[in-house]
């Protein structure tokens, strides 16, 4: 005997990712529109980079200043840096790196580079662009949802089945699926 189980549910993409702005700023460029297919890693949008480029330049100058300060301070330890044991030499170099601000300047440079990278929004996965919430020129804040990328190659059907019908269902069993509108 055939037994008919009627259940309603929803088809969802297994790979469905919301693309979120990682920093605040204006969207200078938006290279996609609703429904476009994108490959993983493709540039989807670019934010205004002016502030990030200034921070990067400032950080590079900070590193150069710290290096000059390090070299200037190193003149106070000529014999230790040239003739000393490796351990003592490392201690002095560490001291000079801290005193000159070189460690801090290098971290500032890495932060500035990371901030600049965040102005370029790339596709985290391959799929179709959906549910666009922004337009070119929009001001976005860090954490704002921009759009979704949905990979339709692998879909999952989620249905709610009555407890009394659950023993009648097994893996590999065939099912007929009809959209809500009929068909």
Kindly report, residue by residue over 119-169, the tens digit of the pLDDT.
999 999 999 999 999 999 999 999 999 999 998 888 888 888 888 888 888
Element (DSSP H or E) covering residue 155: strand 145-159
Whole-number Cα distances in Å, 164 to 53, 159, 167: 63, 15, 7
Chain mean pLDDT for the chain? 88
Of 73 and 81, the structure prediction assigns the larger pLDDT to 73
Task: Tell me the pTM.
Answer: 0.71
Q: Burial of 17 by CB count in 10 Å (0-12 exposed, 13-18 middle, 19+ buried)? A: middle
Residue 95 pLDDT greater than 80, yes or no: yes
Kindly write down the DSSP assignment for every residue of 12-53, as one continuous string: EEEEEEEEE-SS-EEEEEE---TT-EE-TT-EEEEE--HHHH
- DSSP code of 124? S
Distance between CA atoms of residues 25 and 28, nearest Å = 9
């Amino acid at each position: 005997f055939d037994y008919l189980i009627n259940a309603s549910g929803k088809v969802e993409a297994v790979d469905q990712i919301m693309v979120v702005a990682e920093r605040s700023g204006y969207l200078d460029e938006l290279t996609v529109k609703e429904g476009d297919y994108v490959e993983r890693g493709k540039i989807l949008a670019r934010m205004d980079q002016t502030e990030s480029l200034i921070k990067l330049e400032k950080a590079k100058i900070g590193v150069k200043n710290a290096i000059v300060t390090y070299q200037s301070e190193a003149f106070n330890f000529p014999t230790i840096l040239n003739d000393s044991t490796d351990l003592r030499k490392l201690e002095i170099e560490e001291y000079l790196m801290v005193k000159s601000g070189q460690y801090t300047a290098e971290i500032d440079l890495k932060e500035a580079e990371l901030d600049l990278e965040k102005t370029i929004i790339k596709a985290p996965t391959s799929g179709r662009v959906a549910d666009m919430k922004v337009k070119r020129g929009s001001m976005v804040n860090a954490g704002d949802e921009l759009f979704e990328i949905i990979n339709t190659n692998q879909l999952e059907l989620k249905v709610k089945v009555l407890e009394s019908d659950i023993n009648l269902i097994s893996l590999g069993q065939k099912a007929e699926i009809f959209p809500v509108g009929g068909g």
